[in-house]
Chains A and B, each alone.
Chain A
Amino acid sequence: MTNHWVDLKNADAFLIMGSNAAEHHPISFKWVMQAKEKGAVVIHVDPKFSRTSARSSFHVPLRSGTDIAFLGGMIKYIVEKEKYFKDYVVEYTNASFIVNKDFSFNDGLFSGFDSQARKYDTKTWSFEMDETGVPKKDKTLQDPHCVFQLMKNHYSRYTPEKVSAITGVSPENLLKVYDAYSATGVGTKAGTVMYALGWTQHTVGVQNIRAACMVQLLLGNIGIPGGGVNALRGEPNVQGSTDHALLYNSIPGYLGTPVADWQTIADYNKANTPVSKDPKSANWWQNKPKYLASLLKGWYGEKATADNDFCYGLLPKVENGVDYSYMYLFDRMLQGKMRGGFIFGLNPMNSLANSNKARAAMDKLDWVVVSELHHSETTDNWRRPGVDSKKIKTEYFLLPSAHRIEKEGTVTNSGRWTLWHHKAIEPMGQAKPFGFMLVGLMNILRNKYLKQGGALPEALTHQDWPKTYVPEDWTKRINGFFLTDAKFGGKEYKKGQLVPTFGALAADGSTSSLCWVYTGSFTEEEGNKTKRRDAKQTPMQEKIGLFPNWAWCWPVNRRIIYNRASVDPTGKPWNPDKALIAWQDGKWVGDVPDGPWPPMADKDGKYPFIMQSMGFGALFGPGRVDGPFPEHYEPVETPVTSHPFSAQLSSPMYKSVSSELDKLAKPGDPAYPIVLTTYSLTEHWCGGGETRNVPNLLEAEPGLYVEMSQELAKEKGIQNGDGVIVENVRGRVEAIAMVTVRIRPFTVQGKTVHLIGMPFCYGWTTHKCGDATNRLTPSVADPNTTIYELKACLVNVQKAEKLTEIV
């Protein structure tokens, strides 16, 4: 989240889209309800009427996978009706930038597309620079090549009629949402966007979110209380694990993973450190070399020196252009190209797309180590229904893991608050925390390399690695240390003392930090700030529910990021009633500002979007591989054969794999005319591996269901509570029909399109509760993130003669 949970109460309008917040993040609705009671409009746009819809001001059903059409229509509306917050758009976004004259967009494709390679050459997606190397601007926004005019032209195609025809949303409902939400574009109102996996799990997932960012930038809703683009993260600690680089594409603190082309630290820094020639741009990422050097010092300690590139050479480098995400990982596994692996706290046999493929792929491994609370579809894959376990060669090792209440450490919530949690009880039996396992495992491997040698033993033996696992020691290592006596902020620090803030991190090896965004969380002055539970606040902070002394929030305890955009260029809040920061008597008050500099209009002032190299919010976003403006493309499996915006039916760049188990239905396939969307539910967590073992939760939601409209049920002769078969080219799943008024048929391009919805949390290890819904979902993915398209695919449904997976 750019903002945080409590801040939701400051919103005047909510656009909840790609999220079922009340069911999946129930605590969010504490704050949503408070805002609603003060008069906020709560809009839920989602294929299904859910518990979120029930508490919203109104619900608008949308065919799954058409969010960009919907939001593109909103951008058109905001621009043409002049609903945008003009001062903000002109001053703080790149609306005025002049784009490369060779940039173009033609029939669904941006300039530079190579159809053979399915890839863009993005050199024309750039800005014209003046003689000093600063982007050329037209603050009147009239230049035909300025971002604003290109954007206006791009979305001129997204008329209510066309948007309605493809999304299945009536023109009246479109205008109702556009009108209500765009009313926040006045500077004194705030609109917030709440989204989750309903946006990310599409082949246009990143562009869904980009479209929301554009709406928010146009309305001046970023950096302000009650605003923001808020990815709802939850119990799986997605926020914390992303910060600490759980994914293959980054190393801690959002630094890119080294690739084979970058053999030296100089290569890495040259390729990754953005440059701005504009003195008013903070260009915060120019500090990246400091963060990388500090990270390497954190990893390799005294072995890391300037002379040896701080051991950068010991880091594994990924091959250029090779994708190591799950989709490709399991594809390589199926091809027999992997031998074994570790799985911690994850149930991929239930959670990944195309479970039949994932399950077959695991059979190709020699060994698997799984650390879990309970037996799951992953730990027990070798004895799953329909396979002869004697023929499975894979050896499974199970490490019983401690439950989160059986261990201490930090979790980072969706609002970037890092909170210490204490151990409530001792782990049962032989269960241990993951940290214990990893520290111990590494020590065993290090000892083996020390005694026996091997290829590049230094990669392990040079690491500054502890003998035992002590959680709070890691909290300190993450914060980082001074490694020589130093002076910072007028204060003397000794070698070995904690660094007070990331401003003190250096590129010369004199500091360490295992994740620069967390520097400042554990200091000499205040100790472990993740343990703070003080509700003290100033009257200004009290007005907007800002609690700076409660836990600690990255970066530097800044509760709302890009908060310099909440004030005008002279430092006066756009909305004085809900002021976030203000420039008073030569200093900032309120939240921790985005950098210490004076307001933008001051000669030393900076632009608010400090993480963007040019300092401006990106309406034109050249950083994504699939286009600088979001464009509507259909899901890969779509019930239509054309759409009104271009001849490019699906994303020209979506990722896919092509094993014999990766079949796809063709667009408009008459054999599979029904759209399936998948989701979580309140009572079970993710793949259900934990919660299906909690009897009271299983009592409340005991088995797999499929929600469908009364109209579809009638067409198929299905009664509520009947057993049904849902099937497609990849799989066949049994479920119980839940016939409901909460899902209704869509009218798409004049034809009826049915949509059904199923949770994905059930699996065969829980007695007769049903098995993986993901046996139906396809291995196709977003080109930026390789997140699977789990929210839209094609199926058919029929009444079951008899059920075997479910009672």
Chain B
Amino acid sequence: MPKSFFIDTSRCIACRGCQIACKEWHELPANQTRQQGSHQNPPDLNPNNYKVLRFSEYLDGDTVRWLFFPDQCRHCQDPPCISVGGSLVDGAMIHDSQTGAVVYTEKTSKISEKDFENILSACPYNIPRRNPKTGRISKCDMCFDRVSHGLVPVCVKTCPTGAMNFGERKEILDMANARLAEVKKTFPKAMLADADSVSVVYLLTDDPQKYYKFSVAQNDSGMDRKMFFAQLFRPVRKSASSVLRG
């Protein structure tokens, strides 16, 4: 059964429990960061942060708007990254048929930097990051290990306010739509970001661009040539567990 996240930004308090828990679960080392005039740190996704809380603020007339966006891979229903890179190295980039998780393995280190750039440019959400030292490409893996043992992803587990939710796709979409109807009463612009095409459904209360450039898909209007050709040679979906567990 495919799984999905529902990320309700109207409930997010930006405590960054998810950002830190993700690092802890994946045992990712800390980056050396600097205070540069923002709470958003690290400033962007990187090989050591699969999840980053993005902060955005502006004055709406006399009202302060402070928007929180826990950014992570959307685990697309039809992942362009897999279309572009899925056949490059066997077992490196997997779209799991059971959960819908898009998982990158250690074998991504065999993918060239140039191919990585194509993979990144195919991503409508600017997610994958490459470790220049090891060549490994990484991002949110839907806590595939946890989920395959019946646990929820660690970011969901740690969220205190119900901003992060996870479950069967149908139930999650029902939850998202019900919540949207409620939130629209207060925030008429509220919307679900690309709900049909992703497994990570964000509820946004404001104009998506006020949150972050890539809060909604940025290059879904047209595929470039590389993506088109890549799609022709698209591999058959595999069960990730068979690959990951060897």
Interface residues of A (CB under 8 A from B): 22-23, 26-27, 29-30, 33, 37, 49, 51-55, 59, 682-683, 695-705, 720-722, 736-742, 806-807
Contacts and interface: CB of A to CB of B under 8 A. Distances in A.
A30 B162 contact: yes
Nearest to B10: A55
Nearest to A59: B64
Contacts of B31: 699
B13 A702 contact: no
A281 B14 CA distance: 48
Given A705-B37, A736-B37, A742 B66 contact: yes
Contacts of B57: 740-742
Interface of A is mostly: mixed
Interface stretch (B15-23, B96-104, B188-196): B15-23
Nearest to A702: B33
B24 A738 contact: no
B165 to A, nearest CB: 13
Interface in B102-122: none
Nearest to A744: B64
B161 A54 contact: no
Contact of B16 (A27, A682, A703, A736): A682
Interface stretch (B38-46, B81-89, B127-135): B38-46
A737 B33 contact: no
Given A49-B66, A696-B24, A741 B16 contact: no
B230 to A, nearest CB: 35
Nearest to A27: B160
B24 to A, nearest CB: 7
Contacts of A738: 35, 37-39
Given A695-B29, A741-B64, A703 B34 contact: yes
A54 B41 contact: no
B13 A55 contact: yes
Q: Assign chain B's interface to a size class.
A: 20 to 34
Nearest to A170: B62
Contacts of A696: 20, 23-24, 30
A767 B207 CA distance: 40
Contacts of B23: 696
B37 A739 contact: yes
A49 B66 CA distance: 9
13 contacts: A22-B15, A33-B162, A51-B13, A53-B66, A54-B14, A54-B66, A697-B20, A698-B33, A703-B35, A738-B35, A741-B58, A742-B57, A806-B35
B161 A29 contact: yes
B17 A26 contact: yes
Contacts of B171: none
Nearest to A698: B30
Report the 7 A-B pairs with minimum CB-CB distance, sorted nearest first.
A695-B30, A721-B37, A703-B35, A720-B37, A22-B13, A699-B30, A26-B15
Given A53-B66, A55-B13, A720-B37, 11 more contacts: A22-B15, A26-B160, A30-B162, A52-B13, A695-B29, A696-B20, A699-B31, A699-B33, A702-B35, A705-B37, A738-B37
B21 to A, nearest CB: 9
Interface in B59-86: 59, 64, 66, 68
A144 to B, nearest CB: 43
A740 B57 CA distance: 8
A392 B242 CA distance: 65
B34 A702 contact: yes
A319 B245 CA distance: 72
B13 to A, nearest CB: 4
A701 B16 CA distance: 11
Contacts of B13: 22-23, 26, 29, 51-52, 54-55
Given A696-B24, A702-B33, A742 B161 contact: no
Given A27-B160, A54-B14, A741-B57, A699 B42 contact: yes
B212 to A, nearest CB: 16
Contacts of A703: 34-35
A20 to B, nearest CB: 10
B11 interface: yes
A698 B34 CA distance: 9
A35 B59 CA distance: 27
B36 interface: yes
B220 interface: no
Contact of A700 (B20, B29, B36, B161): B20
Contact of A737 (B37, B39, B161): B37
B182 interface: yes
B68 A54 contact: yes
B166 to A, nearest CB: 17
Nearest to B34: A702
A701 B39 CA distance: 7
Nearest to A26: B15
Contacts of B66: 49, 51, 53-54, 742
Contacts of B33: 698-700, 702
Contacts of A27: 160
Contact of B14 (A37, A51, A695, A704): A51
B162 A23 contact: no
Given A30-B162, A51-B14, A695-B29, A700 B41 contact: yes
Given A49-B64, A696-B20, A705 B35 contact: yes
Contacts of A721: 36-37
A743 to B, nearest CB: 9
Interface in B172-216: 182
B66 to A, nearest CB: 4
A304 B68 CA distance: 61
Contacts of A29: 13, 160-161
Contacts of B161: 26, 29-30, 33, 55
B152 to A, nearest CB: 16
A52 to B, nearest CB: 8
A807 B35 CA distance: 8
A23 B68 CA distance: 13
A695 to B, nearest CB: 3
Contacts of B24: 696
B15 A682 contact: yes
Contacts of A51: 13-15, 66, 68
B182 to A, nearest CB: 7
A700 B19 contact: yes
A493 B59 CA distance: 68
Contacts of B64: 49, 53, 59, 741-742
A66 to B, nearest CB: 20
A508 B53 CA distance: 61
B54 to A, nearest CB: 13
B231 to A, nearest CB: 38
Contacts of B38: 720, 738
A766 B80 CA distance: 43
Nearest to B28: A696
A700 B66 CA distance: 18
Contacts of A30: 160-162
Interface string B154-167: 00000011100000
A33 B11 contact: yes
Contacts of A23: 13, 15
A431 to B, nearest CB: 21
A33 B20 CA distance: 22
A37 B182 contact: yes
Contacts of B15: 22-23, 26, 51, 682
A806 B33 CA distance: 12
B50 to A, nearest CB: 13
B62 to A, nearest CB: 9
Contacts of A807: 34
Contacts of A740: 57
Among A29, A695, A721, A738, find the residue whose CB has the most chain B CB atoms closer than 10 A.
A29
A53 B34 CA distance: 26
Nearest to B14: A51
Nearest to B49: A699
Most B CB within 10 A of own CB, among A51, A53, A705, A736: A51
Contact of A699 (B41, B58, B59, B68): B41
